[in-house]
A and B are shown apart, each in its own frame.
Chain A
Amino acid sequence: MSAPPNATGVTGRRLAALTEGWRVYRADRGGAFGLAVLLVVVALALLAPVLTRSGELDVTRVQGAPLQPPSATNWLGTDESGRSVLLLTWWGARMSLLVGLSAAVLSMVIGTVVGLLAAHFGGWVATLLLRVTDFFLVLPALVLAIALSTVLSRGVFTIVLAIGVTSWPQTARLVRAQTLTVETRPYIERARALGGGHRHLLGKHVLPAVLPLVFATTTLTVASAIIAESTLSFLGLGDPSMISWGSMLKSAMDTGAVTAGAWWYLLPPGLGIAIVVLSFTLCGRALETVLNPKLRGTRR
């Protein structure tokens, strides 16, 4: 008798659930702040080609002197080849966000598939998948990512792959636990009794119930993926032709900006990473609070 079919039907119920979720989300100050920051950063990153001239990123066409402190012409100073640090940071956001998001999506897909299969099928499939998951969960992800990006050819795709295939185990564990819970519910039994196959059960019933949680976790994964991207780029494993926040910090270290005291070169990319990562973390935590009422009150 929980939800009698009325005029609004399924859509109405979903809308009501969404509205309620949004209300809880908005009440979380951190989550609201994180979302606002992310919207601004993503908009700026997307609009970079419109609002700035990418030609000034070309080392051969710059006019500024190298490693100049902030001034009226270059608000955040210049890098070792005279390019504007503001411009570099602006364009670097595109690469960092792109890699972070793609790697998180890859990790989400692997984790969800492994988790669903392990929970739904049981038996030796589950045993095998769980062993593999536990193995990768324990393995230090950065060490594995370093190994992968060293032996594969340099490029954005390699970095995404290296981060994606090393960060999925947490998602898999979570999805498995959630699937096990969902599959005990009567409506799954009903669907099975009506002759629903594995594909139908997983696709139409289990996956939709698990997805919100997956979404919340992926938000947190983006945060760690952006850190991982910057770390790999900093170690010199990124695409050398691309500007990202990590590669900026690498050139800052390699060209002696640290010993020269060029704080204007070090601060912007690092602050960029910190702000974006923090925002994703705050959003992820707020989403978890929406989905898990038990957490309400323990976090703020």
Chain B
Amino acid sequence: MTDTREELETRGPTNGPPPLLRFVAAKIGGGVVSLFLVAVLGFFLFRVLPGDPARTMTRSTPVSAEQLAALRHRFGLDQPLYLQFRDFLLNLLHGDLGTSYIYNRPVAELILERIGPTVLLGGTATVAAVLVGLWMGTRAAWRQGGPVDRWFTSVGLTLWSVPTFWLGLLLLMAFGVGVGPLPGLFPVAGMSSPDVPAGVVARVLDVAHHLVLPCLTLVAVIYAQFMMVMRTSLLEEMGAEYLTTARAKGLREDLVRRRHAVPNALLPTVTLIFLHLGLVVAGAITVETVFSWPGLGLLTYEALRVPDLPLLQGTFIVLAGSVIVMNVLAELIYRFLDPRVRES
């Protein structure tokens, strides 16, 4: 590994692998270590911490000693912990996350079925929240202290203080069920209606119709973060000399903002989009619960009610793992976006 790295290093004056390669290798290596830690944590949380997972899973139903023993055998819980851990890691590497207790099906299969809806909901909401947040942050910072700034900041802070699921329940009641004479405008649950006419367009429209309320809830709670960061980072650029230069060249104020200030202020915000994926994941769990959106969040909710430990373990590893992968991506992307980081 080091040999090939040194062969690549022909231009640089310093010894050792080139900084970029070293940087990428370090970040990816760190990510792999983190992923391994997630797996260890998943094992610890759902196998070690409960003491007897079989008893935890059956705490709401009366079971006999034989049934418990059979359950323990089925999940491999009758083996010593280190053997369980070895099997767990080996299976994980093969993409086997065990068998769900309630569904009696492979956990990996269940998760694969549910990833699509979560990516659709989370992705749409993130894109919308980023667009809204960046636009509002720019507007607020440009007229700092003005009425627009005050309004945007207070509305953002207020929505930020509201629990996601409560906002969802309110929207569900106001626009899904309908209040007073107002009829419900949007579906209250699920991702599609059973009675949709055939055809791709009709089906897409139906999903979009179902997507409106959950997406709106998620956007309302997460956009404020992007707005505040964009605002702060633009305010830091405001006094910069290159803006004075741009103005001295005779550029109109909106061009100064759009071409000079905003691109620089965007840098820290871009990484933040990835770094706040954890927020989207957390929001998705509650939003999917409220709107019965058939994604990973609803699967988590179904699993924790029993509790179905193998299934919970699976969703935990997949959700935490994807956030870690996104973070590594964010750090790599930032390096390419910001020349200052690239050189240091």
Contact = CB atoms under 8 A, between A and B. Distances in A.
Nearest to A275: B161
Nearest to A148: B45
B248 interface: no
B285 A146 contact: yes
Given A147-B316, A148-B45, A151-B49, A278 B161 contact: yes
Given A235-B289, A253-B169, A300-B150, A150 B304 contact: yes
B173 A266 contact: yes
Contacts of B235: 298
Interface in A230-271: 230-231, 234-237, 246, 249, 252-253, 258-259, 261, 263, 266-267, 269-270
B46 interface: yes
Interface in B177-210: 177-180, 188
B172 A258 contact: yes
Interface residues of B, number: 59
11 contacts: A147-B312, A151-B49, A151-B309, A227-B161, A231-B164, A234-B165, A249-B166, A258-B173, A259-B177, A298-B232, A300-B145
Interface of B: 33-34, 37-38, 41, 45-46, 49-50, 56, 144-145, 149-150, 153, 157-158, 160-167, 169-170, 172-173, 177-180, 188, 232, 235, 277-279, 281-282, 285-286, 289-290, 300-301, 304-305, 307, 309, 312, 315-316, 319-320, 323-324, 327
Given A140-B277, A235-B301, 5 more contacts: A144-B41, A144-B320, A148-B49, A151-B309, A223-B161
A246 B286 CA distance: 12
Given A143-B320, A258-B173, A263 B286 contact: no
Contact of A274 (B158, B282, B301): B158
Contacts of A150: 304, 307, 312
B162 A258 contact: no
Nearest to B160: A281
Q: Which of B277, B279, B320 counts the most chain A CB atoms within 10 A?
A: B320
Contact of A146 (B49, B232, B304): B304
Contacts of A275: 161
Interface in A275-289: 275, 277-278, 281-282
3 tightest A-B CB contacts, nearest first: A140-B278, A142-B282, A270-B166
A152 interface: yes
Contacts of A298: 144, 232, 235
A193 interface: no
A138 B323 contact: yes
A236 B305 contact: yes
Contact of A141 (B45, B144, B278): B278
A237 B304 contact: yes
Contacts of A274: 158, 161-163, 166
Contacts of A160: none
Contacts of A147: 45-46, 312, 316
A143 B38 CA distance: 12
A22 interface: no
A273 interface: yes
A259 B188 contact: yes
A75 interface: no
Contact of A263 (B38, B160, B173): B173
B173 A278 contact: no
A237 B285 CA distance: 14
A140 B169 contact: no
Contact of B166 (A135, A261, A266): A266
A135 B37 contact: yes
Contacts of B286: 231, 234-235
B317 to A, nearest CB: 10
Contacts of B145: 300
A151 B46 contact: yes
A253 B170 CA distance: 11
Given A139-B278, A150-B307, A235-B304, A258 B161 contact: no
A140 B56 contact: no
